[in-house]
Copies of this chain bind each other. A is one copy, B any other.
Amino acid sequence: MAERSKKAIRREQIVRGLMRVLAKRGYAGAPISAVAREAGLTPGLLHYYFKGKQQILLELIEAIQATALERFEERLARASNDPWKRLFAFTDALLEAGGSQDADDAAACWVAIAAEAVHEPAVRRRYRSSLEELATLLRPLLTDVLAAEGRSSEDLTSAVAAITALIQGVHHVDAMAPELAPAGSSARVARHMIVGIVQAQSQVGSHDLPNDAGRRREHR
């Protein structure tokens, strides 16, 4: 068990080392030697615990995802059975930023990871399965909300995709141009948007939206 523990500790050390360097300097600016230095280890040792640099990145993706999902679990446990609260437990958990250095680092890393995913098949696979996992968790939460609001679930897929995209976009803007969005407002803004999506759901798909949107008001 001490053996197993040592290995796990080392791997975690290394993954955290990559996270910190990646957040500050990007993937190309994160040579193994810098990651090793950040982790307090030597370059050679990284290859003892990981087959290659990419393996560390893959594990980082999992780690970031796992951390976000842990936050979700915690919030979910404290949430009542109210479907809205459960849904927001999810979005708040994923959009929590500025709270900790780790959360900020994770957001910055996520952008770098996405860039790698564009052209590295292995990274792309892992990255996609992260997105799919989020979608899988999100789907029942959203279904419950729609049910509670008396809406149909016909365009559920699009709504899930939209929320997923929104989450990515918020990470993006938080990492790159935090001054665009008032500090800490991300989660709150996202809640508004999601409320909007759910409200819009009922009209979606059957109308030419702009005209309809304008007319809807007139009927008031």
Contact = CB atoms under 8 A, between A and B. Distances in A.
Interface of A: 23-29, 82-85, 88, 108, 111-112, 114-120, 124, 127-128, 131-132, 135, 145, 148-150, 157-162, 164-170, 172-173, 175-177, 180-182, 185-186, 188-201, 203-204, 209-211, 213-214, 216-217
A206 to B, nearest CB: 12
Contacts of A164: 169, 173, 180
A176 B127 CA distance: 8
CB-based closest 9 A-B pairs: A196-B196, A169-B169, A115-B115, A165-B169, A161-B181, A84-B210, A26-B119, A168-B169, A196-B200
Contacts of A84: 209-211, 213-214
Q: State the copy count for this chain.
A: 4
Contacts of A182: 157-158, 161
Contacts of A119: 24-26, 29
Given A169-B168, A169-B172, A177-B128, A214 B82 contact: yes
A132 to B, nearest CB: 7
